[in-house]
């Protein structure tokens, strides 16, 4: 597949206090083997060489683990391909001559810091509010000391793979964090080790979620559809049950 020429329409915003706007760039020699972030790297290299301000965007591991690379791509969080983070989105999914619109998450709880970077520390505060679990740290415990069925352990693991990228918030018309919070609740609620603080945990996390300004669940399922780790909507039902039991 030959190299491509693309038209990029990117949100530029100097800082949190200034108004932003879209700026258009033409970029050629884009290899289909590039990742989306590598394409942005190529654009920034050209901008720097021209003495212009590069586009600011978040990234860290570039292995689909850290969740920091999230951005809207043509109206989709992380891009139009299901189950992928932005760093794993290959340019082969686009065509020569395509116009690509790139913008940051749009949510009150995720204020824009600069360009495509948003402040997602609200997620950190929710997790901190959840506190700890009562387990003995140190030497490895006997494997059969606490028996956990494979079904429950698999479900807990499927919830624990949430990377906190914020795509669920960005895709929800109410900017709800329910899928994120429910995944963090579920990974403990499904295991014996998480039972001790279960009631205090769910109360504290829901309270902090509301305090951070996230909206209510819209029940449209957009969060599950756009989650790069495909966290299930059933976690929200479990969160509701845990919350009701806590009162």
Measured CA distances, 22 to 10, 82, 131, 227 (Å): 5, 25, 41, 25
Would you state the structure tokens that stand for residue 29, as one six-digit string? 């020699």
Q: Where are the domains of the chain?
A: 4-103, 120-245
Q: Are 126 and 210 in contact (CB under 8 A)?
A: no
Q: How many CB atoms sit inside 10 A of residue 36's CB?
A: 25
Per-residue model confidence (pLDDT) at position 134: 72
pLDDT at 30 exceeding the cut of 80:
yes
pLDDT at 106 exceeding the cut of 90:
yes
pTM summary value: 0.92
Residue among 156, 150, 165 nearest 232 (CA): 156
Report the share of the chain in percent with pLDDT over 70: 96
pLDDT at 124 exceeding the cut of 70:
yes
Per-residue model confidence (pLDDT) at position 148: 86
Matching fold, domains 4-103 and 120-245: no
pLDDT at 137 exceeding the cut of 70:
no
The arithmetic mean of pLDDT across residues 222-245, rounded, is 96
Question: Taking all residues of the chain, what is their mean pLDDT, rounded to a whole number?
Answer: 94
Q: How far apart are CA 51 and CA 243, in angstroms?
A: 54
Q: Are 194 and 184 in contact (CB under 8 A)?
A: no
Residue among 206, 175, 185 nearest 109 (CA): 175
Per-residue model confidence (pLDDT) at position 243: 97
Q: Are 166 and 118 in contact (CB under 8 A)?
A: yes
What is the domain class of 4-103 according to CATH? alpha beta
Residue among 131, 129, 132 nearest 177 (CA): 129
Q: Are 140 and 96 in contact (CB under 8 A)?
A: no
The arithmetic mean of pLDDT across residues 77-105, rounded, is 97
For 155-198, write each residue's pLDDT tens digit.
999 999 999 999 999 999 999 999 999 999 999 999 988 888 99
> What superfamily would CATH give domain 120-245?
Alpha-helical ferredoxin (1.10.1060.10)
| Secondary structure, 3-state, the chain | CCCEEEEEEEEECCCCCCCCEEEEEEEEEECCCCEHHHHHHHHHHHHHHCCCCCCCCCCCCCCCCCCCCCCEECCEECCCCCCCCHHHCEHHHCCCCCEEEEECCCCCCCCEEECCEECCHHHHHHHHHHCCCCCCCCCCCCCCCCCCCHHHHHHHHHHHCCCCCCHHHHHCCCCECHHHHHHHHHHHHCCHHHCCCHHHHHHHHHHHHHHCCCECCCCCCHHHHHCCCCCCCHHHHHHHHHHHHCC
Report the share of the chain in percent with pLDDT over 90: 88
Per-residue model confidence (pLDDT) at position 123: 97
Q: How far apart are CA 219 and CA 110, in angstroms?
A: 21
């Amino acid at each position: 597949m030959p190299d491509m020429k693309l038209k990029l329409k990117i949100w530029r915003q100097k800082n949190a206090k200034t108004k932003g706007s879209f700026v258009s760039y033409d970029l050629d020699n884009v290899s289909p083997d590039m990742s989306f972030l590598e394409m942005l790297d190529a654009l920034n290299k050209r901008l720097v060489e021209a003495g212009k301000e590069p586009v600011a965007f978040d990234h860290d591991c570039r292995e689909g683990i850290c969740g920091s690379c999230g951005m809207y791509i043509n109206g989709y969080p992380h891009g139009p391909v299901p189950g992928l983070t932005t760093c794993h989105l290959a340019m082969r999914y686009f065509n020569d001559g395509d116009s690509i619109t790139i913008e940051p998450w749009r949510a009150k709880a995720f204020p824009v810091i600069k360009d495509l970077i948003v402040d997602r520390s609200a997620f950190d505060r929710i997790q901190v509010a959840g506190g700890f679990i009562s387990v003995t740290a140190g030497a490895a415990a006997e494997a059969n000391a606490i028996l956990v069925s494979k079904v429950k352990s698999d479900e807990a693991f499927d919830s624990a793979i949430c990377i906190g990228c914020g795509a669920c918030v960005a895709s929800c018309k109410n900017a709800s964090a329910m899928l994120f919070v429910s995944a963090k609740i579920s990974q403990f609620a499904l295991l014996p080790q998480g039972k001790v603080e279960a009631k205090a945990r769910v109360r504290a996390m829901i309270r902090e979620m509301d305090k951070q300004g996230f909206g209510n669940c819209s029940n449209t399922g957009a969060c599950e559809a756009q989650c790069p780790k495909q966290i299930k909507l059933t976690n929200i039902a479990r969160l509701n049950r845990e919350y009701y039991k806590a009162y």
